[in-house]
Amino acid sequence: MSAAIQFNNVSLSYGIKDDAVEVLKAINFSVESEEVISIVGPSGSGKTSIIMLASGLETATKGSIKINSQEIVGLKENELSEVRRKNIGIVFQSFYLIPNLTAVENVSLSLEANQQFNLEKDAENLLDEFGLSHRFHHLPSELSGGEQQRVAIARALINKPKIILADEPTGNLDSANSDSMMDLLFDYTKKSQTSLVIVTHDNSIANRCDRIVEIRDGEIV
């Protein structure tokens, strides 16, 4: 079975020639189907850059990146969007919910972006699974931080992606909400046979994963 994510000699730099700043240096990195891994390392080491590259939100300076065997380096933006829609759900530290849409509408919007309409019931079912049946029609401003992050996760998962990328998903949550949210994410991943990549500073989260990848100064150590 081919890897869900495959980086081959991937480098990322900003600027040109003598002023270039190397963020990642010839990274070789893979995530197998159904594997759960954590990416750890100090701030500025390049952890988030791996998430951004894997999702096609950043473009590699050199190297090859494959998502479920499809090369994404060199794709046009509309082609990258298609790869994301078909394969990837992204959970960020910030919730990025649309403030004038209810919880159900925020989740349904992700379905509509994938050309799936009139599936509000699917959004309600997933929010119910995440313990938010009493919050369907609440705006983000009426939700707690933990509830907002659950909505954000539901939005990322509603299209049943085979790969979930999570960048410091508990960074804005207290410890109780953090534990509860990670239980949801790990349970969903196992049930759905999904690959999960988590960038985290939290050792307790990293230690729950199948494998820990450490990055320092743009290199896997």
Instruction: List, for residues 139-159, the tens digit of each pLDDT value.
Output: 999 999 889 999 999 999 998
Query: In the prediction, which pLDDT does 172 show?
Result: 81
Does residue 11 lie in a domain region? no
Does residue 96 lie in a domain region? yes
pTM: predicted TM-score of the whole model, two decimal places:
0.91
Total number of domains in the chain = 1
Does residue 26 lie in a domain region? no
Query: In the prediction, which pLDDT does 115 show?
Result: 63
Give CA–CA dist 5/154, Å, rounded: 22
Complete edge-to-edge strand list for the sheet that includes strand 62-67: 21-31, 5-14, 62-67, 70-71
Does residue 206 lie in a domain region? yes
Please choose, from the candidates 212, 166, 160, the residue with its C-alpha nearest in 3D space to the C-alpha of residue 50: 166
CATH code at position 158 = 3.40.50.300
Does residue 165 lie in a domain region? yes
Tokens of 31: 């995530």
C-beta of residue 156 within 8 angstroms of C-beta of residue 110: yes
* Per-residue pLDDT reduced to its tens digit, 78-133: 999 899 988 999 998 888 999 999 999 999 988 776 666 566 788 899 999 888 99
Does residue 21 lie in a domain region? no
Does residue 100 lie in a domain region? yes
- Residue range of the domain that includes 124: 33-60+76-220
What number is the average pLDDT over the span 15-38?
90
Over 80: is that where the pLDDT of 17 sits? no
Does residue 213 lie in a domain region? yes
